[in-house]
Amino acid sequence: MMRVLVPSRLRAKVRAWLDSHYVPIADHRRDLQDAHRETRALRDELAALRAEVKRLKETPPPPAPDTCRLAHETAQALDGLLQNEVLLWQAVDELRSAGPGAVPDRGTEARPCA
């Protein structure tokens, strides 16, 4: 092996040149650690998002608070109205056949909307 004496000024210049063109190993390590940390964070975030998608898929979106109740109650009310119409005709027919002034003698069944 041959050793050559290099003037310190030149050495310093070469070092400066190298430093300005290449990242030192310590910085490389730090960069890799940062990238690794970032990957881990992204992975955790992705898992959380996946869990959220699964949860949303499994839970149907809740209806507007009153929709079900209103639909149910409206349907029931309409059933009652239609039934009342039948009962009204029944009473009208009975009055017609009984003649003027008669009061129909109704049964005991509850009137749907009475």
Partner 1 sequence: MRVNWTGGRLTFRLDPEDEITGRAADEHPVKLATNTCTIAGVPDDAHPDLFAVAAWTVVAPWTRRRITFDRAVSADVAAALHDGWGVDAGPVAAEPRRTGRALAISYSGGADSVAAAAIYPDAPFVHFRRVPHPRVPNRWPHYRSDVLAKLAARTGRDLTTVSSDLEFTLAEPRPGYPEHHAVAAGALLLADRLDLGGLAFGYELGSRWLGGDRYLLRYTPDNPMWAPHGAWGRLFAAAGVHIVLPVGGVSEAVTMRLALNSDLKDYVRWCLIGTDGPCRNCAKCLYKEIIQAAVERRPLDTPIPPTSGKAKKWLQPPPYGGQEMIAYGLARIPGIEHTMFAKALDHFEATEESTRWLDHCYPPSLDEIPPPWRDQAAAFLTTHVGLMTDPERHRVESWGS
Catalog residues that contact partner 1 under the rule CB under 8 A: 75, 78-79, 82-83, 85-87, 89-90, 93-94, 104-105, 107, 109, 112
d(CA 64, CA 49): 25
What is the nearest approach in angstroms of partner 1 to the Cβ of residue 51? 21
Choose between 67 and 83: whose C-beta lies nearer to partner 1: 83
Under 8 Å between Cβ of 87 and 111: yes
Under 8 Å between Cβ of 106 and 74: no
What is the nearest approach in angstroms of partner 1 to the Cβ of residue 85? 7
| 3-state secondary structure (DSSP) of residue 61 | coil
Non-local CB neighbours of 111 within 8 Å, separated by 6+ positions: 84, 87
What is the nearest approach in angstroms of partner 1 to the Cβ of residue 96? 11
